[in-house]
A and B are shown apart, each in its own frame.
Chain A
């Protein structure tokens, strides 16, 4: 199999996994799921670190470092804010259980 085809295969299978895995999401979790998925694409940080690590001139390095900062904000902020959202769910669930 030629290399572009291998990548296409991974891509197509990932599309199906992504759809399948969240197809039963409960409506109350729409916003936290969006936020969690948002944090996951913060993994572009890996790409930003890679290009910054091979930058050969100061302007290119500076530009790549901007990408590193932005990606790190996306990733860490995303996971923390999702956790905070989900914390709000916990006490509310206890109240309904006590009713």
Chain B
């Protein structure tokens, strides 16, 4: 997948638009302009990808883009002001899910290729599958909590730390296995354990702390997109994903600080205070 020079320059322009968008969003006067600039950068990138690559299946792709756009825009316009945080959580989740699927499909491509795939690429692929799944499942749970479709109280069950540890071990084990013997079939259980880890990560978080966790999952999705940029050898995805990953991490800390909470306390406070750990 070699990209022509004009397209690389276009991606650079889009990356600059994203940086200026984040800068603009940091100040009330420029926030709206910043957001529009970010949208312009994203549209530019999507136009470039169609012209710079010899793509097949153009018609189904365009239909899929149209379907996603209609769903996204309708969702964004229909939502009540008070329900915006959970909608952002949902948008973040589907982004993470998209990145995980892209990595799974790329795994299939890797196994078809005759040449050996570099180690770092395989590690980045495994990372994308896991963290994308964590972000998807975690975001769905935050949505359910904020929408009050489930209890907003921290959920802890007996044996929770054991389940968490086992899920973590399974994710690490399958990641190593995947890097040593890449195949799409191994990617699927890896994604499933990633989903379980995402659910377990968010369950102990109380309702008031949920926005902080949404911001954390947002940073996770950013890093996922960055890793998939490395796998697909696309600099824009790397830069945009990393920007969101680092800015999102700082924002998570700022939000926690503004609410007088520490991040560790937000995530694991219920565990420490819970009867399960005495």
Contacts and interface: CB of A to CB of B under 8 A. Distances in A.
Contacts of B214: 34
Given A50-B232, A68-B61, A76 B73 contact: yes
A98 interface: no
Contacts of A83: 32, 35-36
Interface string B235-251: 11111111111111111
Interface string A35-75: 11111111111111111111110001101111111111111
B171 interface: no
Contact of B91 (A47, A69, A78): A78
B92 A74 contact: yes
Nearest to B237: A47
Interface residues of B, number: 101
B26 interface: yes
A21 B19 contact: yes
Given A21-B19, A36-B34, A50-B53, A73 B45 contact: no
Interface in B85-125: 85, 87-88, 91-92, 94-95, 97-99, 101-102, 104-106, 108-109, 112, 118, 120
Contacts of A43: 14, 18, 41-42, 45, 225, 236-237, 240-241
A19 B46 contact: no
Nearest to B184: A60
A33 B25 contact: yes
Nearest to A45: B46
Nearest to A14: B242
Contacts of A81: 75-76, 79, 84, 87-88, 91
B91 A7 contact: no
Contacts of B35: 32, 36, 39, 79, 82-83, 86
A15 B81 CA distance: 32
B67 A72 contact: yes
Contact of B61 (A42, A53, A84): A53
Given A39-B38, A53-B55, A88-B81, A19 B222 contact: no
A79 B50 CA distance: 21
A51 B103 CA distance: 9
Contacts of A46: 45-46, 49, 234, 236-237
A64 B225 CA distance: 15
29 contacts: A14-B238, A29-B27, A30-B258, A34-B251, A36-B21, A36-B35, A37-B243, A39-B42, A39-B91, A43-B18, A43-B241, A44-B237, A44-B241, A46-B49, A47-B99, A47-B228, A53-B53, A54-B1, A55-B57, A61-B60, A67-B101, A69-B68, A74-B94, A74-B95, A74-B98, A76-B69, A81-B76, A83-B35, A90-B32
Interface of A: 4, 7, 10-11, 14-19, 21-56, 60-61, 63-90, 93
